[in-house]
Amino acid sequence: MPYIPLEDHLPGITGLLEYRKDTAAPIRELTQILLRGESTLTEGERELIATIVSHRNSCRFCTAAHTAAADILLGETESTAQVKADHHSAPLSEKMKCLLTIAAQTQESGKAVTTQAVQEAKDAGATDLEIHDTVLIAALFCLYNRYVDGLATVAPSDPGFYEGLGKRLKDNGYNRLPQGYDHLKK
């Protein structure tokens, strides 16, 4: 049961974003730019950053949602599984592994990001903007994970829910649906 009254048909973050829309708007805009805007990182790679941070913050809802989105965008499920177990052994480029290390350090604390990890990412070909966006995406999911669990929002147990949500995140990104969410009412 959430700690504050939220709409039953909007579990996880969606209910919170509908609860206070004036703060939801810049949160959605920031997320849309970082995860779906122009970037030299693919949408799937950026969803992996969201996945590793949410997993390490033990946020069930966000981990399942972004695993689903990443799986759809990447067209395979091995990457998300490996990123959560040990990203060093994931079937990813050296650059992406270095960026996931930076994301994992950011999850711990901003101060935990080491100059060595940054240097290794650069040596593996990461641009300054890619490193910047990795830190900011990781920091943003530290916000989301706390918001979602700090108010005890519902994380549905049905895997089908996250498949649907992952598809919505692929097709519509992070913008509020123009028609709102009433159509999700059962």
Partner 1 sequence: MPNSRIADEIPGIKSLAKFRPSTGKPLTALAETILRGPSPLTHGERELIAAYVSYKNNSMFVYQGHAAAARRMYGAAGFLVNEVMRDPNTATISKKLKILLRIAGKVQVSGLAVKQQDVDEAKSHGASDREVHDTVLIASVFCMINRYVEGMNNFTRVGKEKVEDN
Residues forming the site for partner 1 (CB under 8 A): 3-5, 16, 19-20, 22-23, 25-27, 29-30, 33-34, 37-38, 57-59, 102, 105-106, 109-111, 113-115, 118-119, 122, 127-129, 131-133, 135-136, 138-140, 142-152
Q: In the complex with partner 1, which residue's Cβ is closer, 3 or 183?
A: 3
The encoded tokens of residue 97 equal 């592994």
The encoded tokens of residue 52 equal 């590793």
Q: In the complex with partner 1, which residue's Cβ is closer, 82 or 122?
A: 122
Question: Minimum Å distance from CB 62 to partner 1?
Answer: 10
Q: In the complex with partner 1, which residue's Cβ is closer, 7 or 149?
A: 149
Q: In the complex with partner 1, which residue's Cβ is closer, 57 or 82?
A: 57
Question: Minimum Å distance from CB 48 to partner 1?
Answer: 18
Specify whether the CB–CB gap between 127 and 149 falls below 8 A: no
Question: Minimum Å distance from CB 102 to partner 1?
Answer: 8
Tell me which residue of 74, 69, 131 sits closest to 105, measured CA to CA. Answer: 131
CA distance 90 to 111: 26
Question: Minimum Å distance from CB 74 to partner 1?
Answer: 24
Question: Minimum Å distance from CB 151 to partner 1?
Answer: 5
The encoded tokens of residue 98 equal 């270095």
CA distance 93 to 111: 26
CA distance 152 to 173: 24
CA distance 156 to 22: 26
